[in-house]
Chains A and B, each alone.
Chain A
Amino acid sequence: MSQVATAEVFHHDDNAQVKRIWKTFWILLVLTILELGIGLTIYTIHKGENPSHTLVLMFKGLVCILTMAKAFYIVSVFMHLGDEIRNMIMTIIVPLLLFVWFIIAFLWDGNAWKNLRNTDAGSRIYIEKTHEKTSVPAKQNGQKD
């Protein structure tokens, strides 16, 4: 939509526009509260006896999706990108697709370094340390590390 046109729209539905802004605010607030709720759920799962990693991962995925939704509302309504013409939207969205491979490649490699470290570069099998709270002896005076 051209700016000339938007200016006219503002004149006609001034209140509608303000209402839309506040509506977006409430959506963002609800999304943030949902995220917070999920964060606290993860917290309680971790405190439990046998934390289910799949469940935690699922919740984390959900938070990521909610974040994307928040980003969409900020960019589309607050930054008025949704009101621009299609070509403009595309010049913003298409370059951002680079982030897909950017993220995949980096995190993949990060994970690979962990495997290398845990297995002394593949020379032995990795046995996951169960974080059992083993007692550490106190250091004696004059004892070397």
Chain B
Amino acid sequence: MTTATAQPTTKLWSGGKSPFNISYGKVMMWYFLMSDAFTFGAFLISYGTIRFSQNVWADANHVFNAFPFTGHANLPLAFVSLMTFILILSSVTMVLAVHDGHNMNRKGVEKWLIFTILGGLAFLGCQAWEWTHLITGDHQVLVNGVVQHWGTTVTHNPWGPETLFKGKEVATPGPIAFGGYFFGITGFHGFHVFSGVIINSVMLIKTRLKHFELRGHYEMIEKAGLYWHFVDLVWVFVFLCFYLV
């Protein structure tokens, strides 16, 4: 405001300035992320609640044991670790972009934003592969005394406890909610990654057009960065809830 002149920091709350020394845009972004944390929190807690109400659940080490181009090799958690690595790396490139923005280094911002966007796209590609692999998978499931062939979808879960059928070990149907929650939550997260990629691309264009240089600050990059790190943060918890525990 007009009255916002230098004041001793002890009077942060007395009006005329931001009590946190942060612009309104960043404050808004932070509280938006709080709100979004409750959206994701509600999804993950619902998932936990339904899982707690079941006697059996799909074992992540069996469901997620495939890796592209390795055929039927049993590699539990390998692919999702790669995805996590990609996302963490893209978070680092994002924070480096923000850092270069602080230094008014336009070239640096552009470079790191491009890496971040590539990281986001790579993550989305991995997720597309994983989804395809699960949905088109072919698993023998014993249903009412007949062996059927199922993939993992929102209506079918072939990962129930195994049983002996004609002397062979065959899976029985597992809790249906597994697929719903897996595709629902990773899909919602993927949607966030996707929108993050869009936001970062817009930022890249605006940086190239020297919008921020003329404005004298790269605060928009910081806000986009907050969003991107939040997406990474959510993945940390998705990784925990679906793959590890």
Contact = CB atoms under 8 A, between A and B. Distances in A.
B52 A114 contact: yes
Interface in B52-106: 52-56, 59-61, 76-77, 81, 84-85, 88-89, 91-92, 94-96, 99, 102-103
A88 B59 CA distance: 41
B110 interface: no
B203 interface: no
5 A-B pairs with least C-beta separation? A139-B145, A110-B52, A110-B49, A88-B20, A113-B53
A40 to B, nearest CB: 7
B10 to A, nearest CB: 12
A123 interface: no
Given A25-B89, A131-B161, 13 more contacts: A2-B9, A32-B84, A40-B77, A42-B61, A43-B61, A63-B245, A79-B226, A84-B21, A96-B34, A102-B45, A106-B45, A106-B46, A114-B52
A46 B61 CA distance: 10
A88 B84 CA distance: 29
A24 B92 CA distance: 9
A78 B225 CA distance: 9
Nearest to B167: A135
B20 A87 contact: yes
Contacts of A40: 61, 76-77
Interface residues of B, number: 64
B135 interface: no
Interface stretch (B151-159, B178-186, B190-198, B231-239): B231-239
A49 B80 CA distance: 27
Interface residues of A, number: 66
Contact of B21 (A3, A11, A18, A91): A3
A54 interface: no
22 contacts: A17-B99, A25-B88, A29-B85, A39-B61, A39-B77, A39-B244, A63-B244, A63-B245, A67-B240, A78-B91, A78-B229, A103-B45, A106-B49, A109-B49, A110-B52, A110-B53, A111-B52, A129-B55, A133-B164, A135-B167, A136-B145, A139-B145
Interface in B14-42: 19-22, 30, 34, 37, 41
B227 to A, nearest CB: 10
B237 A67 contact: yes
A111 B164 contact: no
A49 to B, nearest CB: 16
B51 interface: yes
